[in-house]
Structure 1
Amino acid sequence: MKPARVIGTVTLSHAAPQFKGARWLLVGPMGPDELSGKNPDGVAEGWTPVVYDKLGAGVGDPILYVEGAEATQPFDFPIPLDTINVALLDKYTYQPPEEA
């Protein structure tokens, strides 16, 4: 699982029937600086994956997501999916590793 913050939503004009009733979120993965509060924007530089969401996350919410084959596990049928939201975070604590 990877932590991220929702930074937007994706609007589709057409979607496959397998995705009915869900939303697509644009997320910014969170690294050590974002988790510890050192980055005031709360969003890391770099790529921003699009995540399938049936949990109801909104813009600004911290979430956990999974990628790859694990993202298809909640489904009983084959589905073309690479990332899925698996948790909405109410609160989290991050303790950076101590340097040796």
Structure 2
Amino acid sequence: MRVGEVIGKVILAKCHPSVSGGTWLVVAPLTVAGLKGDPLGREEPLVVYDELGAGLGARIGFSEGGEAANPFAPNHKPLDAYNACILDTIEVE
């Protein structure tokens, strides 16, 4: 699982029926420097499927690859990244 910040939302006119009901977020994965507040601590943004309702600026925990489809087993969905949690606070030492 990785931590990222929601920087936008994807709007679709039509999507695959198996993913209706969720939203698509544009998320910038954060490095340790990004978790500490450094604006240069962001990696290349990616699109993450969300059913939890994360908003702009939220920090989320997301999974990628095969793990992204696991929450939907046995009815797998065509996902590359899935929002697993919305984080309230992050402490980095």
TM range (shorter): over 0.9
Residue 33 of structure 1 aligns with which residue?
33
The Cα of 1:42 is off from its aligned counterpart by: 7.2
Shift of 1:78: 2.8
* Matched position secondary structure for 2:71: coil
Between structure 1 and structure 2, the one with the greater Rg is 1
**Contact persistence 1:6–1:62 (CA under 8 A):** yes
**CA drift at 1:57:** 0.1
Q: Greater strand share, 1 or 2?
A: 2
Contact 1:7 1:26 in 2 (8 A): yes
Unaligned runs of 5+ in 2: none
Normalised to the residue count of structure 2, the TM-score between the two structures is 0.92
Shift of 1:20: 0.9
User: Could you say what the CA RMSD is over the residues aligned between the two structures, in angstroms?
Assistant: 1.3
Within 2, Cα distance between the matches of 1:67 and 1:32?
Answer: 19
Q: Does 1:15 align with 2:12?
A: no
How many angstroms apart in 1 are the aligned matches of 2:78 and 2:87? 26
Post-superposition Cα deviations, 1:44-89, rounded to whole Å, max 9, x if no partner, equal 1x41110000000000000000001100111121321110000100
Identity %: 39
Q: What TM-score do the two structures reach when normalised by structure 1? A: 0.86
CA distance in 1, matches of 2:30, 2:70: 24
> Aligned ranges for residues 63-78 of structure 1 at < 5 Å?
63-75=60-72, 76-78=74-76
Structure 2 counterpart of 1:98:
none
C-alpha displacement of 1:43: 5.6
